[in-house]
Amino acid sequence: MQLDPVDQLWPKPIIGQRYLLYIHIPFCESLCPFCSFHRVEHHAERTRQYYSALRKEIRAYHAAGFNFADVYVGGGTPTVAPEQLNQTLRLISDLWDISEISVETNPNHLRQPILDQLLEAGVTRLSVGVQSLDNQLLSEMGRLETYGRADEILEHLQQTQGQFPTFNVDMIFNIPHQTIDSLNNDLKQLSALKVDQVSYYPLMPSHTTQLAMSRQMGNVDFENERCMYDLIRTALMPDYQPGSAWCFSRKDATLDEYIVDHDQYLGVGSGSFSFLNGTTYATTFSINHYLDRMERGESAITSRRHMSNMEQLQYDFLMKLFGLRMDKAIMDKKHGPSWRRRLWKEILLFRYLGAIKETDDALYLHPEGMYYWVLMMRDFFIGINDFRSQMRARIRTETEVPILRANS
């Protein structure tokens, strides 16, 4: 993934278009060795300043005419400063008529004072990063001390289930040293809890992160990935139905991968991405740079890349079938009736493999083809994570706390 540098670029909205707003909070109490997302260690004052700058950026996009229908807050750990998050989400709800608000968190934040802040702010979907319920693996991932033992995590999950319209648990499979028995035990415990939704991601670190995590967790080995995925799919169904190739729900619910349901989204905050009208935008990965630009009222976008028509068509093919269904009428309207001819190789290949099936109205991802999409999405996200690693490598360690004149 290669983006071209730009300076002082503010994207313009399409009149009448409702977008998803993605908000990136890069602060964490502990930096997991397998994580390739843009994140830094949490510092209370620095986090307060960041949220203040974030609200400035949000107001700027409101003034520019953007209209948002849904909100997704990722990280990092957005709930490291619940009062600041509450204030930010309430601002958004004051500016726009928001339908869905999804927020990521960690198990140690599933405590009632924090949950009450999220409920008050209108959060409709809470997604908690558990990753594993094996204490040995949690220790190797550096999560045991910060986020709790498996029995503590399970207690928090049980207490939180039912408080939000959708409660999602994020898990990872194919972790170094993870066994089939360990994975099967995780699945049994999650099924017994009957949480609303389980998203089971394959391990997909950037190549730089793979080198770092090998020293603490061991080497990534894809030999057992297919076997583990098949176990997950068969163990969760039929109680859980797939909403995507790796997200399983007990009811109709928003997916963790918002890019499946939202063709157009705008990202705010350091290290966020936007996809608007065929162009990908990235904001600065330097938090100091981000804070300075917001103080000056300047755009935080520092790079972009416009996708060709064929790239946009292939992107839609990947994303829509990852979400299990690609509507032909929508594709006709977006890409013209020639899209089938242009994708004939892809369609023929996956039909031959038994991965997709076709009706008059749509192409569908067949259950036997779901693992192919896990593979493609895993490689897609590894590419994005490689880009994140490159961007992070360009900035020096930012431990100082800049003093800003802005208040909120």
- Does the pLDDT value for residue 407 go beyond 80? no
The pair of structure tokens assigned to 297 is 């009222």
Residues 6+ away with beta carbon under 8 Å from 23 = 54, 71, 72, 73, 74, 78, 88, 267, 268, 269, 272
Say if 290 falls within a structural domain: no
Rg from Cα positions in the chain: 21
Of the candidate ranges 127-136, 223-232, 332-341, 391-400, the one whose mean pLDDT is the lowest: 391-400
- What pLDDT does residue 256 have? 64
Domain around 252: 4-262
Question: Which pLDDT band, with edges at 50, 70 and 90, does 396 fall under?
Answer: low
Distance CA 259, CA 124 (A): 18
Considering the domain architecture, whether residues 46 and 143 belong to the same structural domain is answered as yes
Considering the domain architecture, whether residues 360 and 238 belong to the same structural domain is answered as no
What are the pLDDT digits (tens) for 125-137? 999 999 999 999 9
| Residue of 290 and 238 predicted with greater confidence | 290
| Residue of 261 and 374 predicted with greater confidence | 374
Considering the domain architecture, whether residues 249 and 318 belong to the same structural domain is answered as no
Considering the domain architecture, whether residues 212 and 328 belong to the same structural domain is answered as no
Considering the domain architecture, whether residues 78 and 193 belong to the same structural domain is answered as yes
Residue type, 314: Q
Say if 229 falls within a structural domain: yes
- What pLDDT does residue 394 have? 66
Domain count, the chain: 2
The residues facing 282 across adjacent strands are 273, 303
Say if 268 falls within a structural domain: no
Question: Which pLDDT band, with edges at 50, 70 and 90, does 207 fall under?
Answer: confident
Characterise 189 by phi-psi region: left (phi > 0), alpha (psi -120 to 50), beta (else). Answer: alpha
- Does the pLDDT value for residue 194 go beyond 90? yes
- What pLDDT does residue 403 have? 41
Considering the domain architecture, whether residues 178 and 321 belong to the same structural domain is answered as no
Residue of 124, 140, 259, 148 lying closest to 196 (CA atoms): 124
- What pLDDT does residue 318 have? 95
Question: Which pLDDT band, with edges at 50, 70 and 90, does 405 fall under?
Answer: very low
Domain boundary among 365, 382, 401: 365
Instruction: Tell me, yes or no, if the pTM score tops 0.85.
Output: yes
- Does the pLDDT value for residue 402 go beyond 60? no
- What pLDDT does residue 221 have? 84
CA 377 to chain centre: 12
Say if 271 falls within a structural domain: no
Domain boundary among 330, 349, 365: 365
CA-CA-CA-CA torsion sign (159, 161, 167, 169): positive
Average pLDDT over residues 35-45: 87
Q: What is the mean pLDDT of the chain?
A: 91
Long-range contacts (CB closer than 8 Å, 24 or more residues apart) made by 247-252? 247/168, 247/197, 247/198, 247/199, 247/200, 248/197, 248/198, 248/199, 248/200, 249/166, 249/196, 249/197, 249/198, 250/194, 250/195, 250/196, 250/197, 251/166, 251/196
- What pLDDT does residue 137 have? 96
Domain boundary among 207, 239, 262: 262
Considering the domain architecture, whether residues 74 and 141 belong to the same structural domain is answered as yes
Distance CA 404, CA 121 (A): 26
- What pLDDT does residue 2 have? 65
Say what percent of the chain tops pLDDT 90. Answer: 76
- What pLDDT does residue 1 have? 60
